[in-house]
């Protein structure tokens, strides 16, 4: 039972930390971010299992994490009010060619990052953008004028 409680606590902690850290796609991560994720994974494993290296302990932890993941997905699907907490909300970054600096700052993004994403979509300037939205999955979507 101790492993289940530890897993539930760490799952909640990871959910809170990932919401606070912000949205980034795996392909957009800097090498430091990837290393940090690996280190966090090791720390989480040590915190959850302590010195239990048994197959039973690993099975309990993996099953608990899987069940919590399915449960949060169900909650997000079933209860619309929980979606922003569990998945986040899309954030408007550009409206009618104007960069919304406050929204960028809140998301810890730079104008250069948005411009780079626009170039990847073959958009040369902000004047061509009607809306740019940071989606809850970390992607930036564009609607051209």
Query: What is the C-alpha end-to-end distance of the chain, expressed in Å?
Result: 57
pLDDT tens for 51-60 read 777 888 888 8
- Average pLDDT of the residues in 82-88: 83
Sign of CA dihedral 12, 90, 102, 139: positive
Instruction: Express each pLDDT in 20-70 by its tens digit.
Output: 766 655 556 677 777 777 787 877 777 787 777 788 888 888 899 889 989
pTM above 0.75, yes or no: no
pLDDT tens-digit readout, 106-122: 888 889 989 998 999 99
Question: Six-digit token pair at 131?
Answer: 């809306």
Q: What is the C-alpha R_g of the chain? A: 19
pLDDT on residue 109: 86
Q: For residues 8 and 68, is the Cβ–Cβ distance under 8 A?
A: yes
């Amino acid at each position: 039972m101790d492993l289940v409680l530890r897993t539930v606590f760490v799952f909640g902690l990871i959910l809170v930390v990932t919401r606070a850290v912000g949205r980034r796609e795996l392909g957009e991560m800097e090498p430091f971010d990837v290393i940090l994720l690996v280190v966090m994974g090791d720390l989480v494993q040590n915190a959850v299992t302590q010195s239990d290296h048994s197959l039973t302990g690993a099975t309990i932890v993996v099953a608990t994490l899987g069940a919590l993941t399915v449960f949060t997905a169900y909650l997000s699907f079933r209860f619309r009010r929980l979606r922003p907490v569990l998945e986040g909300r899309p954030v408007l970054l550009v409206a009618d060619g104007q960069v919304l600096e406050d929204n960028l700052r809140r998301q810890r993004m730079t104008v250069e990052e948005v411009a780079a994403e626009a170039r990847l979509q073959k958009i040369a300037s902000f004047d061509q953008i009607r809306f740019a939205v940071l989606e809850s999955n970390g992607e930036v979507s564009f609607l051209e004028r």
